[in-house]
Amino acid sequence: MKKQMFIVALAVALAAPASFAQPDKVGVTQLKPIPSQASAALWASKMLARHHYKALPLDDAMSEKIFDRYFKTLDGEKMYFLQSDIDQFDVVRNKLDDAINNENLTLPFVLFNVYQQRFTERMAYARELLKTKLDFTTDETYMLDREKAAWPKNEDEARELWRKRVKNDWLRLKLAGKDDKAIREALDKRYDNYQVRLRKLNNEDVFQMFMNAYATSIEPHTNYLGPRAADNFDIAMRLSLEGIGAVLQTREEYTVIREIVAGSPAGLSGKLKVGDRIVGVAQGDTAFTDVLGWRIDDVVQLIRGPKDSAVRLDVLPADAGTDGKHIAVSLVRKKISMEEQSAKKSIIEVRDGGVKRRVGVISLPTFYLDFDARRRGDKDYKSATRDVARILGELKKEKVDNVLIDLRNNGGGSLIEAVELTGLFIDKGPVVQQRTAEGRIEVESDTNAGLAWDGPVGVLINRGSASASEIFAAAIQDYGRGLIIGEPSFGKGTVQTMINLDRFAPPSEKVHYGELKMTIAQFFRINGGTTQLRGVSPDIKLPVTSDNENFGESSYDNALPYVSIKPASYVASGDLKELIAPLQKRHEARIAKDKDFQYLQEDIAEMRKLRKENAISLNEVVRRKERDTQEAKAKLREARLASQGTVDDKEARSKVPDPTTRPAKAVAVKGSPRQDDGLQADERSLAAELAAEKAAKNAKDVMLQEAAHILSDEVAMFKTDTRLASRVMPYRAAIKLPD
């Protein structure tokens, strides 16, 4: 009783209006937990404390970790709370374990409600600032990333922070050519929509945020999914859904089309394009429902529907301003096979003097598998291995000299597929080892004799290559089967399982507890090492474009450590070490003369400089000069590219992600009970994904092009030294290939 009174008193004290601007007249709805959430939290805690690979008790020490991570979830950029808030909250730092164990979740909801109050106050102040005249002649800067900054000490410091935030928002629109009236209206609507979106959060959202703070305090890849999130969890793995065939994302208050599936209703209509903003949705001939500022899952729910039913979209075209003319697009839903996520092939022709060599490229965005269809015995079930095997057969007929598997930004997927895909390139043998929480070692092996491709092979990876991608790349490397090209991979070497918490719910009650994605094992290479933390190191190193400090397993403060175990029993297919030094030397000599690589290096240097500075000028003259310099540089490059190739060539050039762009949520993947679930949520960089997807659609991006040159060099070395191939790839003579 005393504890309950203490919590209520704390809520009243902290939520009292400060000397900041008064909240909106709309007010803030005080969210409260429901009984089923308290039960779900307790059952989840029992599973995590007993069965997690890194099982930790739910005690005061864990409570302190949850406390810090919960506040990071709510206000990671330190834009809303004051240091005085944190100081007052400190008295409950070690009480969150009690909240779960005693099935009383009032405390985490109190903390969220105070966050809502502070958020409302900040938005009210920001909107008041729009009525003032801002000075863009002073020399001051705005910090872009405040994750490592201190909380504002007091309200004056918070006001100063938001003055600069509003000033930067205004200046961006001003540089885009908008006048003061249009800017004021646009920003006022934007800040209002921020509040609208906050008010749309419900108790399930708050509970999920709190439970995720708990889950990720144990280990980065453990998550809680509320009932609604769990319902949507397996779409990406099955690669099909009933809808319009468009991948959506949130940008400010808009739902934006990120990708359109070829052959889908959206694609066949010819009326929608990437970047279009969906502002309204209607079922059949009914009136449009305004979805501006809506949560992405709510918008998706409206757009999805039964096969052959009609849906209309109110669309603001990508190239139209915020006040541009809308178009209405009517579509008939159908079952969509998300083919843009399937394996794709292309052929790059490399000229070396008077010789032309052909490198077959297989781009694989994810290790997908339709588990349900496979379990049903459907002979045509969808799988990455099946698609790659078919493509390899086609590439054989097209007489390619080498094959490159492009796994850039492939965040993982099915463990089964990682093993079976490796089996296309080795005869038989172990592929990956797993160690359970109990210390039991299990070996996943390819048991199918023969190879689908016995020629030379390369694997292209980057920092976004994770989990199943790392298992495949590590196995190819350990067997000496192919060259790994690129930059060090992500470093996710853990195994997750999905636990449906509904099984603990009382059978007489129709309640849903959600699901727990929990780490239960760790991957180990067949050589005894692990992909965990360190990832896979490439044989041939390309320029590093990623921000390793903020992206990758090593960026997590509680990642599992690198350890090793006893190697599995296997026989290497070959030994490519003899090739690495001369190939690296040729690569470095070639890119030293390549203007595209020089541009790339300039972009990387500029990206790192911006990240290090972590600030942007609020002086209009300075910003215009910076923009004009960038535009001039871009025009020079485009002019050069125009003189050398087509528009498609220009669009395919590799781009470095914008360091000012915040990562967005990515669709999670669900598969078999024990599998690698890949990178999810904020583990991915959306900017990196989009850049890589764009590059992968055309074989001319500089990284892919250079990887093809490296594999062409390998073939040239074999042609020059006929005994070299037999030394480094003896399996070709030893294995009889199937017809």
Residue of 200, 193, 196 lying closest to 31 (CA atoms): 200
Say how many residues make up the chain. Answer: 739
pLDDT digits (tens, 9 = 90+) for 430-481: 999 999 999 999 999 999 999 999 999 999 999 999 999 999 999 999 999 9
Residue 230's pLDDT band (cuts 50, 70, 90): low
Q: What is the 3-state secondary structure (H, E, C) of 614-677?
A: CEEECCHHHHHHHHHHHHHHHHHHHHHHHHHCCHHHHHCCCCCCCCCCCCCCCCCCCCCCCECC
Lowest mean pLDDT among 107-116, 257-266, 282-291, 508-517: 257-266
pLDDT number for residue 140: 95
Query: Is it the case that residue 421 has pLDDT exceeding 90?
Result: yes
Average pLDDT of the chain, as a whole number: 83
Question: How many percent of the chain have pLDDT more than 70?
Answer: 82
More confident residue, 188 or 734: 188
Type of residue at 687 = A
Q: Is it the case that residue 318 has pLDDT exceeding 60? A: yes
Q: What was the pLDDT predicted at 324?
A: 65
Residue 547, CA distances (Å) to 250, 300, 537, 608, 612 in order: 23, 32, 16, 8, 11
Give the pLDDT confidence of 566-609 residue by residue, as tens digits.
Answer: 999 999 999 999 999 999 999 999 999 988 888 888 878 877 78
Q: How confident is the model over 53-109, as pLDDT tens digits?
A: 999 999 999 999 999 999 999 999 999 999 999 999 999 999 999 999 999 999 999
User: Higher confidence at residue 321 or residue 572?
Assistant: 572
Residue range 686-708: mean pLDDT, rounded: 59
Q: How confident is the model at residue 707 (pLDDT cuts 50, 70, 90)?
A: very high
Query: 473-508, pLDDT tens digit by residue?
Result: 999 999 999 999 999 999 999 998 889 999 998 887
Amino acid at 680: Q
Task: Give the confidence band of 637 by pLDDT, cuts at 50, 70, 90.
Answer: low
- Cα gap 168→178, rounded to integer Å: 14
pLDDT band at 320 (very low <50, low <70, confident <90, very high): low
Residue with token string 């808030």: 85
First to last CA, the chain: 77
Tell me what the mean pLDDT of segment 249-265 comes to.
75
Q: 344 pairs with which residues across the strands?
A: 363
SS (HEC) of 75-122: HCCCCCCCHHHHHHHHHHCCCHHHHHHCCCCHHHHHHHHHHHHHHHHH
Cβ contacts of 596 within 8 Å, gap of 6 or more:
653, 702, 705
Is the model's pLDDT at 407 over the cut of 70?
yes
Alpha helices in 304-412 (DSSP H): 371-376, 384-397
CB atoms within 10 A of CB 376: 10
| Beta-carbon contacts of residue 334 (< 8 Å; ≥ 6 apart) | 242, 264, 265, 307, 308
* Catalytically active residues, by annotation: 467, 478, 492
Distance CA 407, CA 459 (A): 7
For the sheet with 402-406, list strands across it. Answer: 344-352, 355-363, 402-406, 457-461, 483-486, 540-541
Cβ partners under 8 Å of residue 551, min gap 6:
463, 464, 685, 688
Average pLDDT over residues 322-333: 81
Residues 149 and 66: their CA atoms lie apart, in Å, by: 20
pLDDT at 665: 29
Task: Give the type of residue at 617.
Answer: S
Chain segment 12-57, per-residue pLDDT in tens? 444 443 433 333 444 678 999 999 999 999 999 999 999 999 999 9
